[in-house]
């Protein structure tokens, strides 16, 4: 823990001040980092800049001995088990994980978090952070939080403005005003500016009065809701009903779907910050990036003498200023400059580095063609483990299945397919109709169409098996769950 956290936050706690609750937003899809980031497994769940995922890095950034409570997560309900599992991997126990039944942007998500916290801490301060940003200097981040603390306690809605290092057109900007009385290092907000063109961005940089909008906020939960109720009462009403009609589900809290769906889909900037007189900004230089594009990742990575960032099985000859990444197969490049190449097992992206931010348009075009690649990897993740499609054709599909120790799939049946399981590592407990049997390595079992069945790993090592499906229809929706440990029936 850095010295500022040791002194500033300790003093903050001794004064009996409200506790800071990290609120981590994990609802994004990261389409500009396709084909690595996809809707079912977006960028915050990927280890893009270290051995830990961006979500894990964000959660770990808030681990301090004093001052910060355990984090509160808000995520897409489809990612709930992945988020929970990743936090467990780094031994972080959240206060709760709120599940968004519909994507309604950050305004409603933060309102739901504020309402949930106020039922438990009437003086709660929220440190709101996206789950998919990089902060390479967490000590500077902690110092900025302490600078904004008094203003937030006084009811100001504090945001953090990153000192710009270049005229970037990919970020929104904050125009800072005069220093805020009684709060050293905190400035009034004159206005928020949408992503500018290049000439405007250059003027912003030269003026010294503009900062990149980091999307990180320090807010009193009560102050945020008061301003939301004044500026956008319909959104607050929807979120209140979503919390009141919500319910616990295993380790999660489910917001009510019908009420939350009615909330206007607005960012916190559009819902509140651009319309309030309470906005304040703390300028900070904390080596921040929103990791929003392949171009940004190239800037973060460790480049070789030719300006290349090469990751995975890559062979490059006479290549300069490029980002080339392979998630498996060999990628060989010769005589190219300023390109991005990203290869997964089912898709390859090739782009001029200066056009890499336009990848979202490719994703939209693929969706219009009803392609699965924008949303699904060949590996699918489930609370019990994962499966990977190895091969598929007319009336057959082959998958490699991994089941965590102690985990089990749902009791289920299929109307259109039979399955043949071959155990290659570990031991499986198989329920087939009324039978229960142990299936060991190099043994197999056949599951006929329509037969109730269940797969379980009773051992202490991951269970791996090959599944061969056969039948007229092999979609994942041909699963009739009868009983499920994870509440998915």
Residues 6+ apart with CB under 8 A from 321: 306, 307, 308, 337, 338, 353
- How confident is the model at residue 357, as a pLDDT? 79
Helix axes 233-244, 106-118, angle to 10 degrees: 50
Q: If we measure between CA atoms, which residue out of 187, 356, 193 comes closest to residue 273?
A: 193
Q: Please give the backbone phi and psi of residue 426, each rounded to the nearest 5 degrees, phi first.
A: 90, -165
Every domain of the chain and the residues it spans: 3-289, 294-367, 379-483
Per-residue model confidence (pLDDT) at position 366: 96
Residue 15's pLDDT is 45
Q: What is the pLDDT of residue 64?
A: 67
CB 148 within 8 A of CB 280: yes
Q: What's the rounded Cα separation, in Å, for the pair 1 and 146?
A: 14
Q: What is the pLDDT of residue 181?
A: 85
Q: Which CATH superfamily is domain 3-289 in?
A: Spore Coat Polysaccharide Biosynthesis Protein SpsA; Chain A (3.90.550.10)
- The Cα diameter of the chain in Å comes to 75
Tokens linked to 401: 């299945």
What whole-number distance in Å separates Cα of residue 98 and Cα of residue 252?
A: 6
Do 110 and 243 form a contact (C-beta atoms < 8 A)?
no
Residue 66, pLDDT score: 56
pTM comes to 0.91
pLDDT at 1: 38
How far is residue 142's CA from residue 116's CA, in Å, rounded to a whole number?
25
* CA–CA dist 41, 97 (Å, integer): 17
Q: Where are the beta strands (DSSP E) in 293-434?
A: 309-311, 314-317, 323-326, 331-334, 339-343, 348-352, 379-382, 385-393, 396-403, 411-413, 418-425, 428-432
What does the pLDDT read at residue 259? 97
pLDDT of residue 2: 45
Please tell me the distance from the alpha carbon of residue 203 to that of residue 140, in angstroms, as a whole number.
26
How far apart are alpha carbons 336 and 343 in whole angstroms? 16
Task: Give pLDDT, residue 28.
Answer: 82
Q: What is the pLDDT of residue 3?
A: 41
Tokens of 284: 């900070």
Each residue's pLDDT, cut to its tens digit, for the chain (489 residues) gives 344 444 455 545 444 456 899 999 998 878 999 999 999 999 999 999 999 999 999 999 988 655 799 999 999 999 999 999 999 999 999 999 999 999 999 999 999 999 999 999 999 999 999 999 999 999 999 999 999 999 999 999 999 999 999 998 889 999 999 999 888 899 999 999 999 999 999 999 999 999 999 999 999 999 999 999 999 999 999 999 999 999 999 889 999 999 999 999 999 999 999 999 999 999 999 999 999 899 889 989 999 999 999 999 999 999 999 999 999 999 999 999 999 999 999 999 999 998 887 899 999 999 999 999 999 999 999 999 999 999 999 999 999 999 999 999 999 999 999 999 999 999 999 999 999 999 999 999 999 999 999 999 999 999 999 999 999 999 989 999 999 999 887
CB-count exposure of residue 93 (10 Å: 0-12, 13-18, 19+): exposed
User: What is the topology classification, in CATH, of domain 379-483?
Assistant: Jelly Rolls (2.60.120)
In this predicted structure, what is the pLDDT of residue 256?
Answer: 97
Kind and range of the H or E run holding 366: helix 359-368
Tokens of 486: 């994870």
Angstrom distance (rounded) from CA 59 to CA 72: 10
């Amino acid at each position: 823990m850095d010295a500022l956290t040791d002194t500033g936050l300790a003093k903050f706690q001794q004064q009996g001040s409200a506790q800071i609750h990290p609120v981590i937003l994990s609802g994004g899809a990261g389409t500009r980092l396709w084909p690595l980031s996809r809707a079912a497994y977006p960028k915050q769940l990927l280890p893009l800049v270290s051995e830990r995922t961006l979500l894990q890095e964000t959660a770990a950034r808030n681990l301090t001995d004093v001052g910060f409570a355990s984090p509160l997560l808000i995520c897409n309900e489809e990612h709930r088990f992945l988020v929970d599992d990743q936090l467990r991997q780094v031994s972080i126990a959240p206060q709760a994980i709120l599940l968004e039944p519909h994507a309604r942007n950050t305004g409603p998500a933060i309102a739901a978090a504020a309402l949930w916290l106020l039922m438990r801490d009437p003086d709660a301060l929220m440190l709101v952070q996206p789950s998919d940003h990089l902060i390479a200097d967490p000590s500077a981040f902690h110092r900025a939080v302490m600078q904004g603390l008094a203003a937030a306690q006084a009811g100001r809605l504090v945001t953090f403005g990153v000192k710009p290092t270049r005229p970037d057109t990919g970020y929104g900007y904050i125009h800072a005003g005069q220093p805020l009385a009684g709060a050293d290092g905190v400035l009034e907000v004159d206005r928020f500016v949408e992503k500018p063109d290049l000439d405007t961005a250059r003027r912003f940089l030269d003026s010294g009065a503009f900062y990149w909008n980091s999307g990180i906020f320090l807010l009193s939960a009560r102050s945020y809701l008061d301003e939301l109720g004044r500026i956008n009462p319909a959104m607050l009403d929807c979120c209140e009903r979503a919390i009141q009609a919500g319910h616990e589900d295993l380790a999660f809290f489910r917001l009510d779907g019908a009420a939350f769906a009615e909330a206007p889909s607005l960012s916190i900037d559009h819902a509140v910050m651009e319309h309030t007189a309470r906005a304040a900004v703390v300028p900070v230089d904390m080596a921040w990036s929103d990791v929003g594009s392949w171009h940004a990742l190239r800037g973060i990575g460790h480049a070789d003498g030719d300006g290349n960032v090469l990751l995975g099985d890559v062979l490059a000859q006479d290549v300069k200023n490029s980002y080339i990444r392979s998630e498996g197969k060999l990628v060989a490049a010769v005589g190219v400059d300023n390109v991005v190449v990203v290869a997964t097992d089912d898709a390859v992206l090739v782009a001029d580095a200066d056009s890499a931010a336009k990848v979202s348009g490719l994703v939209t075009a693929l969706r219009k063609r009803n392609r699965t690649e924008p949303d699904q990897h060949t590996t699918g993740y489930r609370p019990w483990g994962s499966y990977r499609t190895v091969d598929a054709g007319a009336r057959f599909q082959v998958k490699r299945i991994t089941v965590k120790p102690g985990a089990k799939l749902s009791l289920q049946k299929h109307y259109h397919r039979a399955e043949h399981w071959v155990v290659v590592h570990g031991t499986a407990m198989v329920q087939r109709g009324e039978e229960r049997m142990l299936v060991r390595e190099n043994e197999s079992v056949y599951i006929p169409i329509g037969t109730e069945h269940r797969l379980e790993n009773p051992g202490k090592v991951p269970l791996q098996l090959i599944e061969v499906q056969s039948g007229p229809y092999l979609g994942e929706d041909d699963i009739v769950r009868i009983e499920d440990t994870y509440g998915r029936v």
